[in-house]
Amino acid sequence: MRSLFERLRTRRLASMFVLLATLSVAIVAGSFAAHGVRGQEKQNQSTDATPLKVVNSAVAPNEFVRIAKEVGPAVVNINTRTLPKLSENKGGRAPHGRAIPNPHQQNPDGDDQGDDQQQGQGNFQDFFNRFFGGQIPDQDGGDDGQVRQSLGSGFIVDPKGYIITNNHVIEKADQIYVKLSTDPDSQDLGRPARVIGFDKATDLAVIKIDTSTALPTVKLGNSETAQVGDWVEAIGSPFALSQTVTAGIISAKHRTIEPGASGQFQHFIQTDAAINPGNSGGPLLNMNGEVIGVNTAIYTQSAGYQGIGFAMPSNTVVEVYNDLIGVSHKVTRGSIGIRFNQGLSGAVNRVYGFKNGVLVQQVVHGGPADKAGLKGGDVITTIDGRSIKDGDDLVNEITSRRPGSSVRIGYQRDSKAMDTTVTIGDLDKVFADAGAQQAETGPDDTGDAGETKLGLVVRPESDSTAAKLHMQGVVIQSVRSGSFADLQGLEPGLVITRINKQPTGTKEQFNAVASKLKQGDDVVFEVIDPRHPDNGISYLGGTLE
């Protein structure tokens, strides 16, 4: 047996071994832990990510790309300047003294006729805005007026430099400049251009720039063959951003957005291709790269794109262009010298005994129809044996014919079928002569200045109506279609209380005020609707032309 001393020494050595072993494990574990932390730090300082590269794969170009490349060089930017004009008034202010609107609050028509005329167009018309682009005040305008700058678009149709655009783009301009897509993008306004001709009825114009080399041109397509749902592409300079391309479809055709005579030659293509201020005069293209319309107007509540735009059809554009580049530089349209109302109710058709045709409202004295024996109340049913559907059909048929040619007109009078031969006259001359005759007779001879100058007939207000409205005025009895009163939104039943702040409480007062009005005068009517007297006074007016 071992002694007690030996046993105690053995236990002490064993305990020391266990302690040393434990310390060794702890040291080794700590060493591994420290190594792991240092390894992680080292790993964060380097990366094994692969750098990105651009894939150089070819994407097959679509038709929009092809059209933009082919047609883009022929689309131009148009910049106009209207210089200050000193008035004869003592203050030496610009006409009407109007301030230039902020570019983001456009005066869509770019006119100088003020807010009163815009109100006269009616709430519906307020939404139809021309894309003039922002009018920008010139820094050097001075106290006696301001330089107005406006932007628009156009496209070259002749390599000699002939360009089609909208009339409202260049209408009031003193200086017109054109910038091609190849011209340097600098502060230079562009190449000076001159007006060849314009047509207010279709809002089209032709301008020309001088060039020593042949310029790129577009092709004009057939707008009649275009269908609702067809893809279209627009190119222009919205907000001065030249060569902007947008795409959409044809939403509708034959849209008329202005009532009465002012819209009788404007039957637009409607599209949802994005069109904005500055697009005016630019092309609307089909998928063959052919122009089928000239972008002219938008429907908007914000002066910007809201999905509805209007383009003048190319078939109309070609006819107007060919007239404007002719010797007279004006559009000549045929006329037989009648006036009629559009959109008559079915009751009128039934009472007058016709389904299709045009009910003659008035025959111009001494005009072609008058000489051929037509009278108010006749219903025109055929032209050279072809049935006439409505007023648009009649206008298109007659205006396309040259003055001096003859046409066989079938009509109904008191339910009896009749016909006559009418010699076509010049639209402008026929109605100009009629106006001259009215001017010669004068208001004192006719006894009604309101009818001859304004196009409305009034009667005295009844005592009951005056008591109901608590004011004196004259009641509108009738309004001639296409007249000044018609264009301002006046209609039968309304009561006119004042004109240009002058009371019209009696027919004599009305005639006295109306007889003094002359061409170029601003005319503002204060009217009230007896059916809705709580709506108060409405102010309708414009500039008498």
Positions marked catalytic: 168, 203, 280
Distance CA 485, CA 542 (A): 9
Task: Name 392's Cβ contacts closer than 8 Å, sequence gap at least 6.
Answer: 256, 264, 267, 342
Look up residue 122 and give its DSSP letter: H
CA separation for the pair 255, 272 (Å, rounded)? 14
Structure-token match 């089909």, residue found: 286
Q: Locate tokens 């894939």: which residue? A: 55
293 SS3 class: strand
- The span from the CA of 17 to the CA of 152, in Å, is 99
CA 281, CA 159: separation in Å to the nearest integer?
Answer: 18
Which tokens go with 143? 């106290």
Q: How far is Cα 458 from Cα 448, in angstroms, rounded to an integer?
A: 9
From its phi and psi, is residue 229 left (phi > 0), alpha (psi between -120 and 50) or beta? Answer: left
DSSP states along 494-509: -EEEEETTEE-SSHHH
Q: Report the 3 state secondary structure along 379-439.
A: EEEEECCEECCCHHHHHHHHHCCCCCCEEEEEEEECCEEEEEEEECEEHHHHHHHHHHHHH
Instruction: Tell me the Cα Rg of the chain.
Output: 38
Per the CB < 8 A criterion, the answer to whether 526 and 537 are in contact is yes
CA distance 189 to 185: 9
Kindly provide the b/e burial profile for residues 77-100, where b requires at least 16 CB atoms within 10 angstroms of the residue's own CB: bbbbebebeeeeeeeebbeeeeeb
Residue 268 DSSP label: E
Rounded Cα distance between 78 and 189, Å, is 9
